[in-house]
């Protein structure tokens, strides 16, 4: 048993953390949130040059053959200053799906340029009715010559407003199937959707979009299983990001308690606030600890082993993590409730992470429905 990062991992975490602090302070996020894209393709390219996007992928597709642990470390550290580049959307959602479902030619065409920072990806899987059920798909893929015609609407496609390529789930005759579709293809109708956390997503309507057979990822009907796996990666990624956020919020709050004065003393000397801060510390460490388990287990092929820790982690994000966010805001007092102070930006991002990739009820139900849950020694 060993919970320590190895030297390479420590170095990676430090490099990403330094990048966040020095090159992308929260002020940068503030500037960019009002722009059309919300982030900078030049910064994305730089992240590509640093090799960060290739971390979880095999060397054969231009990756570095690392594990999901490295990927999660990058996400955790980018979160410390709310770096706006679409790492989670493009690498975890788009990239991990493409890597698992696609063939060598598709990897080369779509994954490699993303790893290099030249393009970004988005995963269009969610529909108005689907609510965390990746197999609830009403978008259709109708056979059309050697290809298909796609029709339907996807919602809250993260980075869907700017991605070069969309990975789309649609119901083909053989079941839920994944396709790669260029965002600028004919019949792809993108509506930008602003999100609560100052980022952007898209609602995307597919109006008889014709794609050829080569844009199908894997066999017909193979899509839901791949997406299921992607959702576990995404949940683990959200938890890692939540660790970066709650750690930062806790630090900001403890700093504030140690500087803000009322009644002639530092408010951090009040026992009621000290105890609150200790409980925030406890919830943050619980989240960090189960996050370590979930990032390690994300690569695990055994479904039960993988899901138990990932669901437990997402549950801790939804409960303890969200509570830390709430209390951080509360302890900042009035200034915490303004857009001027950064604490509220982190707060809103936590709620976005909470809503994505399975909420509390979803993960409680999933954890409880595992057959091993009811196995009791009598």
Partner 1 sequence: MDLTFSEEEEAFRQEVRAWIPEAMPEEMREKARGAGGFTPEDSATWHRILHEKGWAAPHWPKEVGGTGWDAARRFIFNEEMELAGAPQLSVFGLSMVAPLIISFGTDAQKKRFLPKILSGEEFWCQGYSEPGSGSDLASLRTTAEDAGDHFIVNGQKTWTSYAQYADWVFCLVRTDQSVKKQAGITFLLIDLKSPGVEVKPMLTLGHTPAFCDTFFDNVKVPKENVVGGINQGWTMAKALLGHERTLLAMIGPSRNVLQKVKRIAASKTVNGRPMLEDPLWRAKIARLEMRFRAHTMVSYRALADQQKGKMPGPESSILKVVGTKLIQELTELAMEVMGESSLTWYNEGLCPPVEESIGPYFCYERAATIYGGSNEIQRNVIAKMILQLPSS
Query: Which one among 103, 138, 208, 373 touches partner 1, defined by CB under 8 A?
Result: 373
Does 2 sit near partner 1 (CB under 8 A)?
A: yes
Q: Is 149 helix (H, G, I), strand (E, B) or coil?
A: strand
Q: What is the DSSP string of 98-161?
A: HHHH--HHHIIIIIHHHHTTS--EEEE---TTTTT-TT----EEEEETTEEEEEEEEEEEETTT
For 240, the token pair is 């890692």
User: Does residue 75 contact residue 298 with C-beta atoms inside 8 Å?
Assistant: no
Does 315 sit near partner 1 (CB under 8 A)?
A: yes
Q: Work out how close the CB of 249 gets to partner 1 at its nearest, in angstroms, rounded to a whole number.
A: 13
Query: Which one among 77, 311, 328, 354 touches partner 1, defined by CB under 8 A?
Result: 311
Interface with partner 1 in residues 64-83 (CB under 8 A): 69
Does 225 sit near partner 1 (CB under 8 A)?
A: no
Best CA proximity match to 211, nearest among 57, 332, 106, 101: 106
Residue 354: CB atoms within 10 A of its CB come to 20
Does 193 sit near partner 1 (CB under 8 A)?
A: no
Stretch near partner 1 under the rule CB under 8 A, chosen from 17-25, 107-115, 137-145, 288-296: 288-296
Does 248 sit near partner 1 (CB under 8 A)?
A: no
CB-nearer residue toward partner 1: 85 or 309: 309
Please give the Cα distance from 174 to 178 (Å, whole number).
Answer: 12
Please give the Cα distance from 378 to 374 (Å, whole number).
Answer: 12
Does 296 sit near partner 1 (CB under 8 A)?
A: yes
> If binding means CB under 8 A, how many residues of this protein chain bind partner 1?
56
Best CA proximity match to 168, nearest among 125, 200, 135: 125
Does 266 sit near partner 1 (CB under 8 A)?
A: yes
Does 11 sit near partner 1 (CB under 8 A)?
A: no
User: Does residue 119 contact residue 159 with C-beta atoms inside 8 Å?
Assistant: no
Best CA proximity match to 71, nearest among 46, 48, 88: 88
Does 133 sit near partner 1 (CB under 8 A)?
A: no
Q: Work out how close the CB of 325 gets to partner 1 at its nearest, in angstroms, rounded to a whole number.
A: 17
Does 13 sit near partner 1 (CB under 8 A)?
A: no
Please give the Cα distance from 193 to 290 (Å, whole number).
Answer: 32
Q: Which run of H or E residues covers position 242?
A: helix 223-259
The binding site for partner 1 (CB under 8 A) comprises 1-6, 9, 69, 254, 257-258, 265-266, 268-271, 273-275, 277-279, 281-282, 285-290, 292-293, 296-297, 308-309, 311-313, 315-316, 319-320, 361, 363-365, 367-369, 373-374, 376-378
């Amino acid at each position: 048993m060993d919970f320590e990062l190895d030297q390479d991992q420590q170095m990676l975490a430090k490099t990403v953390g330094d990048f966040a602090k020095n090159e992308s302070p929260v002020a940068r996020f503030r500037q960019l949130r009002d722009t059309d894209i919300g982030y900078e393709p030049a910064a994305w390219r730089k992240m590509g040059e640093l090799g960060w996007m290739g971390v979880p992928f095999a060397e054969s597709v231009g990756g570095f053959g690392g594990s999901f642990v490295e990927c999660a470390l990058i996400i955790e550290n980018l979160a410390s200053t709310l770096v706006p580049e679409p790492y989670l959307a493009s690498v975890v959602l788009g990239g991990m799906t493409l890597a698992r479902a696609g063939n060598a030619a598709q990897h080369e065409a779509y994954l490699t340029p993303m790893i290099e920072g030249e393009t970004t990806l988005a995963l269009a899987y969610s529909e108005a009715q689907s609510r965390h059920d990746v197999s609830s798909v009403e978008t259709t893929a109708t056979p059309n010559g050697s290809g298909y015609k796609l029709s339907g609407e996807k919602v809250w496609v993260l980075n869907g407003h700017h991605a070069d390529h969309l990975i789309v789930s649609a119901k083909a005759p053989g079941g839920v199937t994944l396709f790669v579709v260029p965002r600028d293809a004919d019949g792809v109708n993108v509506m930008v959707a602003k999100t609560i956390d100052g980022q952007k997503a898209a609602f995307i309507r597919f109006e008889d979009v014709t794609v050829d057979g080569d844009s199908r990822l894997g066999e017909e009907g193979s899509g839901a299983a791949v997406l299921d796996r992607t959702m576990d990666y995404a949940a683990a990624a959200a938890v890692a990001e939540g660790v970066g956020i709650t750690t930062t919020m806790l630090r900001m709050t403890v700093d504030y308690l140690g500087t803000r004065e009322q009644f002639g003393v530092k408010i951090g000397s009040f026992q009621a606030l000290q105890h609150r801060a200790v409980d925030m510390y406890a919830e943050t460490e619980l989240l960090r600890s189960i996050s370590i388990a979930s990032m390690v287990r994300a690569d695990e092929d055994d479904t039960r082993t993988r899901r138990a820790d990932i669901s437990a982690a997402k549950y801790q994000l939804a409960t303890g993590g969200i509570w830390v966010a709430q209390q951080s805001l509360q302890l900042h007092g009035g200034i915490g409730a303004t857009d001027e102070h950064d604490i509220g930006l982190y707060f809103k991002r936590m709620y976005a992470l909470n809503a994505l990739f399975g909420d509390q009820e979803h993960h409680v139900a999933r954890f409880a429905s595992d057959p091993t849950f009811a196995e009791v020694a009598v």
